[in-house]
A and B are shown apart, each in its own frame.
Chain A
């Protein structure tokens, strides 16, 4: 493969019972359909054990993640799906992202549409990005709409364990949780929705290096996902 190609490693988390469709980076215009040069998908269980790997036709504009997982795992729990893409920067001169659609089958809860977390690459050097992605935060609405919040965290390293701290803020009070993840391991870190009567205002994630991270909200009754979003760099 040409070393002139740019590289992007992204990750998301699959849960059983959800329709989960990925839109790999692509573009349609009058002249042509533009797509990635290659896309490899690898699946990992919570301990970081590989469950399967597949090379996807990069011309494919929608990838059914649920079907892909079930081709490799009979009774999946939470699965981390890692997308290793190569692309020509002349075609995608901006920092590209995959997007995804998420909906629990049969649920009246609305669908979610989100940008898949880009964890490695995506040419931050060329676009002049200066924000470190190993210190992120997420602000919650004053009136919380999900009863249970958590962070989904995955370590995309091949060799190195990761340590992270999760800080949650409640009008002056701060809680700290320590997280340790082996290579390719992932975890869901519950966040208290209220503390001494005060609602969760903010969560911060601090890690030695960038992790795959999402903030998640679930209905207390039934657990349907109502929030699935990436965190934001702390500094601009």
Chain B
């Protein structure tokens, strides 16, 4: 995928299918230094399928890579 999460074009895409977290939700939470959001703490830890993308996005948004 050539478009990167920083661009904002992907904000509406669902990142975590278990907690219904979008890329935009994560970007805003990181910008406000509020990650993990209440109720979204298990993002990446349930089906685990989004874990790679979650870590990638956290890096892009300048957040700690702690899940």
Contact = CB atoms under 8 A, between A and B. Distances in A.
Contact of B1 (A121, A132, A158): A158
A124 B42 CA distance: 11
A162 interface: yes
A3 interface: yes
A162 B50 CA distance: 11
Interface in A40-79: none
The contact size tier of chain A is: 20 to 34
Contact of B48 (A8, A133, A158): A133
Question: Residue among A118, A120, A156 with the most chain B CB within 10 A?
Answer: A120
A9 B21 CA distance: 14
A150 B13 CA distance: 33
- A interface majority secondary structure: loop
A183 interface: yes
A120 B44 CA distance: 10
Interface residues of B, number: 24
B20 A120 contact: no
A103 to B, nearest CB: 29
B62 interface: no
Contacts of B14: 7
Contacts of A132: 48
A154 to B, nearest CB: 11
B18 A160 contact: no
A9 B46 contact: no
Contacts of B44: 209
Given A158-B1, A208-B52, A129 B46 contact: yes
Nearest to A5: B20
Contacts of B48: 132-134, 209-210
A122 interface: yes
Nearest to A118: B47
A235 interface: no
Contact of B19 (A9, A119, A125, A157): A125
A220 interface: no
Interface in B8-57: 10, 13-14, 16-20, 42, 44, 46-53, 55-57
Nearest to A160: B52
Contacts of B17: 7-9, 120-122
A210 B53 contact: no
A119 to B, nearest CB: 5
Interface of A: 3, 6-9, 118-125, 129, 132-134, 156-162, 183, 208-211
